[in-house]
Structure 1
Amino acid sequence: MEISSFPFPYLQDDECSHFLGLFQDMDSSPSTFGLEGFNSNDNNTNQKKRPRKDDEGGGGGGGGTEVLGAVNGNNKAAFGDILATLLLLDEEAKQQQEQWDFEFIKEKSLLEANHKKKVKTMDGYYNQMQDHYSAAGETDGSRSKRARKTAVAAVVSAVASGADTTGLAAPVPTADIASGSGSGPSHRRLWVKERTTDWWDRVSRPDFPEDEFRREFRMSKSTFNLICEELDTTVTKKNTMLRDAIPAPKRVGVCVWRLATGAPLRHVSERFGLGISTCHKLVIEVCRAIYDVLMPKYLLWPSDSEINSTKAKFESVHKIPNVVGSIYTTHIPIIAPKVHVAAYFNKRHTERNQKTSYSITVQGVVNADGIFTDVCIGNPGSLTDDQILEKSSLSRQRAARGMLRDSWIVGNSGFPLTDYLLVPYTRQNLTWTQHAFNESIGEIQGIATAAFERLKGRWACLQKRTEVKLQDLPYVLGACCVLHNICEMRKEEMLPELKFEVFDDVAVPENNIRSASAVNTRDHISHNLLHRGLAGTRTL
């Protein structure tokens, strides 16, 4: 049997010798490979058939040997094929295992390289952060040392100058200067960001110039101190173990300066040395306090004696009797709200400015001195003047309860003529009498217009779009109206450069006459103005 007939390219010499010995054993003892039964059957058959063949002449003895040799040859060939297949499968398994081992080692080396790279990067980042914090700590330490040295030098010089003039020198509390307090540590906590408060410290000093204070806060120091005293119990907070509370004057100052200048919150933060979110929170809190505490005291409907005094003032100047106030509606621009956008869309301002505008309204009644006696705040900008009036407490409460009987509130042509609301003639081709009446009504209406001009000029936050939320905006607008009344009552002068001109489109309502008796009364008033010489000569 030739081994070379089976291609084994990877077999070694010892393996070939092993297989040669195996096949030799197969040749010598076929019974060991399970051929015993096959040979025994052939022998029995031959033994049974041999006598017959012998009887026939003894010519069949060589045939049995040939058959046995052929069977043994076929079995050896089959076993050779099986062994060759097993060797091939074993070789393929070895090659596949070697491939897997190679890929595993490659992936492992790649992962280790990436891990080392990340570790190196993180180590570098942490080293940079450590260096940064170390440098920041050294800078803060040197800055605090310089500040303490400067403070000590200033105190020493002040004491020395005082000693020269008085001959007495008080001991310098160096421990307090160095540490900021007699018992506390000298360093700030890391969670407190150090901000400068130089501007507020300078403004809050008693020797700060009055003109500059009025330019910054739109009021005098005495008026500002009055507001602080009124709100002290409401806005004052308690100190905690972590930090001291912001004083009430500083809280009020943040709110008033923000309303007066309309500056962004980041500028307010820089001026007062507070965080941006803290400034926004203080503005809303103080506006709510003004709305809740000061509005019932400084913005209220006049008493009977005050109403009689107001009627006398209007009649003495404008010759129209029983006038208790003048009404006007203005729009405050806002950013497009997230809900009910169409309700706040201002079509008239959009057409005039050629820019999409959204607004919220403020409708107010002022007396002869330009002081608000009633305000309606928060209606959407898409409503007209008469629609806002119908929703206001002036119409639903005071007029419905008869509080405006025998009294007039003067409005422009955007309001309807009612039993308590007096408006000018709006038709074409007016008579001399009607023209004189319209001029007198226009003068009274000018008082309300001028009051709103001072309101927007004094509080610049009302001149541009505000980022205050809609639910907080009525408190801000109400606070501006209250502060306006306080300034007007205390005769606070308004700087000329703060003058602001309001311009709100007036839409004549479809049903502008809603009372027949009011028509007759208006005609009677206009007749008296001209024919009794009350209108003067301005219509000629």
Structure 2
Amino acid sequence: MVYLFCHGMVDSVIKTLIRVPTLEEACGIAQRFERAHSIPQIIGCVDGSHIPCLPPSDGYRDFINRKGWPSYVLQGVCDDKYCFWSVSCKMPGSAHDANALRQSNLFNNAQSFPKRAVQIEGQDVDFFLLGDPAYPLLPWLMKGYLQSPRLTPQEESFNVYLSSARTTIEIAFGRLKSRFRVLLKRSDFHFTFTPYVVATCCALHNFCEMEKEHVNPR
């Protein structure tokens, strides 16, 4: 039953619950992020989280993450309300976040993001995502300055504001795993099925967030 339900979700419902925001939605996301964190044009925060899995015997080492246990890398992008609008769970635990990004639909379809540039100090700045230092700096992906004694006060201040905004994705992952604790421990699902379970949980999480369902603490 679980297999049928998750396959059914991935084949149909997920596309309506996890999707790139429209231009109107993106404008609303950016406005709320700016009000909360004083950085304009943010439409999402991206990060990775490890999901325990039962790895295959062939290629086992590929699934061992830096903490020493087998996992998939769940890459997620969330809005300011902790809803995921992009998820990818296909890279084994040993993959670096930057590599997981390059292998995802998010990276391949970045040109399809909604666009609306605003002028900031004479420069046109379009919508963008926030990522941590593990990610590359791209036209649509912003990260903070590398920590250095040479940073100016303005650069240090920017890092503080950016870090504050980026906690949104960490909170989103926490709320997801509090709702669906199957994501916290290794299950006996075949490793090829685990991404279906993860995607289904992310979609149901979005539904719960939209309905303002309570989250029980872990």
Q: TM-score normalized by structure 2?
A: 0.90
2:122 aligned residue: none
Determine the C-alpha separation between the residues in 2 that align with 1:392 and 1:449: 19
Tell me, yes or no, if structure 1 residue 437 matches structure 2 residue 149. no
Tell me, yes or no, if structure 1 residue 308 matches structure 2 residue 33. no
1:295 aligned residue: 14
Correspondence 1:331-350 to 2 at 5 A? 331-346=50-65, 348-350=66-68
Q: In the TM superposition, what whole-angstrom CA distance separates every residue of 1:426-457 from its partner, at most 9, and x where no partner exists?
A: 23213221121111111111010000001111
Tell me, yes or no, if structure 1 residue 449 matches structure 2 residue 151. no
Closer, same or farther in 2 for the Cα pair 1:403/1:312, shift >3 Å? closer
Determine the C-alpha separation between the residues in 2 that align with 1:363 and 1:402: 17
Secondary structure of 1:471 counterpart? coil
Note if contact 1:368-1:447 (Cα within 8 Å) is conserved in structure 2.
Answer: yes
Q: In the TM superposition, what whole-angstrom CA distance separates every residue of 1:309-329 from its partner, at most 9, and x where no partner exists?
A: 111111111111111101110
Tell me, yes or no, if structure 1 residue 418 matches structure 2 residue 138. yes
Letter in 1 for 2:193: D
Q: Which has the larger radius of gyration?
A: 1
Determine the C-alpha separation between the residues in 1 that align with 2:15 and 2:54: 30
Note if contact 2:72-2:90 (Cα within 8 Å) is conserved in structure 1.
Answer: yes
Note if contact 1:314-1:323 (Cα within 8 Å) is conserved in structure 2.
Answer: yes
Letter in 1 for 2:214: E
Secondary structure of 1:285 counterpart? helix
User: Percent identity between the aligned chains?
Assistant: 30
1:478 aligned residue: 199
Tell me, yes or no, if structure 1 residue 368 matches structure 2 residue 80. yes
2:95 aligned residue: 383
Following TM superposition, the consecutive aligned residue runs of length 4 or more in structure 1 with deviations greater than 6 angstroms are none
Letter in 1 for 2:101: L
Determine the C-alpha separation between the residues in 2 that align with 1:416 and 1:301: 21
Correspondence 1:213-362 to 2 at 5 A? 282-346=1-65, 348-350=66-68, 357-362=69-74
Determine the C-alpha separation between the residues in 2 that align with 1:393 and 1:473: 18
Correspondence 1:9-24 to 2 at 5 A? none
Instruction: With a CA cutoff of 8 Å and minimum separation of 6, indicate the structure with the bigger relative contact order.
Output: 2
Give the superposition deviation at 1:360: 0.5
Give the superposition deviation at 1:293: 2.4
Secondary structure of 2:109 counterpart? helix
Secondary structure of 1:342 counterpart? helix
1:467 aligned residue: 188
Determine the C-alpha separation between the residues in 2 that align with 1:336 and 1:329: 19
Give the superposition deviation at 1:336: 3.3
Unaligned regions of 5+ residues in structure 2, if any? 117-125
Note if contact 1:291-1:482 (Cα within 8 Å) is conserved in structure 2.
Answer: no
Determine the C-alpha separation between the residues in 2 that align with 1:443 and 1:310: 16
Note if contact 2:22-2:114 (Cα within 8 Å) is conserved in structure 1.
Answer: no
Task: Pick the structure with more strand per residue.
Answer: 2
Note if contact 1:378-1:474 (Cα within 8 Å) is conserved in structure 2.
Answer: yes
Give the superposition deviation at 1:404: 5.8
Determine the C-alpha separation between the residues in 1 that align with 2:54 and 2:195: 15
Determine the C-alpha separation between the residues in 1 that align with 2:55 and 2:106: 29
Note if contact 2:62-2:92 (Cα within 8 Å) is conserved in structure 1.
Answer: yes
Secondary structure of 1:368 counterpart? coil
2:123 aligned residue: none
Q: In the TM superposition, what whole-angstrom CA distance separates every residue of 1:354-373 from its partner, at most 9, and x where no partner exists?
A: xxx11111101001101000
Note if contact 1:366-1:372 (Cα within 8 Å) is conserved in structure 2.
Answer: yes
Determine the C-alpha separation between the residues in 2 that align with 1:471 and 1:388: 17
Note if contact 1:390-1:396 (Cα within 8 Å) is conserved in structure 2.
Answer: yes
Closer, same or farther in 2 for the Cα pair 1:384/1:404, shift >3 Å? farther
Task: Pick the structure with more helix per residue.
Answer: 1
Secondary structure of 1:349 counterpart? coil
Pairwise CA RMSD of aligned residues? 1.5
Note if contact 1:329-1:362 (Cα within 8 Å) is conserved in structure 2.
Answer: yes
Note if contact 2:54-2:191 (Cα within 8 Å) is conserved in structure 1.
Answer: no
Letter in 1 for 2:160: E
Secondary structure of 2:43 counterpart? strand
Letter in 2 for 1:369: K
Correspondence 1:28-177 to 2 at 5 A? none
